Amino acid sequence: MSDHGHHSRQWPLWTSLLVAVLFTLTPAPDWYGTLFPDINLRPIWLLPVCFYWAIALPQRFSVGSAWLFGLLLDVTSGGLLGRHTIGLVISVWIAQRFYLQLRQFPFGQQAIVVGLLAMLQQLLLLWIDGATGVLSKPMHYFTPVITTMMLWPLLFPLLRKLRISLHVR
């Protein structure tokens, strides 16, 4: 156990976060607009992935890294710098405070926690966008929370499998 630092494999962790950013940025295909003309069903990707790594490897992934990835999303999505970072830092903070309990939760309860954190982040976004005058429909901020919660039971086993099979420590 003492020589963990020598061959700790971390790239799957950072790659999964990068993929979450890419999924957020990829434009929706044309058929999405025709199928769901005025409803935003695109899940929030970065927050649940951050949440997972914060409870699985709290010693590797912490608030600082979450802040950096939040900034990455701000830069690439073209919003104000700091738009996503507060919500992510608070989510990872809470996840780290209670990671031992959160690991024991069944999927359903974890999904609820993820949903609450996603809701917090969307509220913050709504508030920031409202204060800076670029507010769109409030509905568009909250429908993704539901899809994010529905995504969790798929995302959690996937990331878990990734972590265990690739020995991410």
Residues near another protein (CB under 8 A)? 1, 4, 18, 21-22, 24-29, 33, 40, 42, 56-59, 62-64, 67, 70-72, 75-83, 85-86, 89-90, 92-93, 96-97, 100, 103-104, 128, 131-137, 140, 160, 164, 169
What tokens appear for 31 in the block?
């058929």
Quote the least distance from Cβ 150 to another protein, whole Å.
18
Alpha-carbon separation of residue 113 from 52, 90, 92, 94, 134 (angstroms): 11, 13, 12, 10, 28
Nearer CB in complex with another protein: 71/150: 71
Quote the least distance from Cβ 115 to another protein, whole Å.
20
What tokens appear for 81 in the block?
């710098």
Quote the least distance from Cβ 22 to another protein, whole Å.
5
Alpha-carbon separation of residue 100 from 44, 50, 60, 113, 121 (angstroms): 24, 16, 15, 14, 23
- Neighbour-count burial of 30, counting CB atoms closer than 10 A to its CB (0-12 exposed, 13-18 middle, 19+ buried): exposed
Quote the least distance from Cβ 96 to another protein, whole Å.
6
Question: Any idea what the Cα angle at residue 113 is, between residues 20 and 143, rounded to 5°?
Answer: 65
Quote the least distance from Cβ 43 to another protein, whole Å.
11
Q: How far, in Å, CA of 14 to CA of 11, rounded?
A: 5
Give the 3-state secondary structure of residue 67. Answer: helix
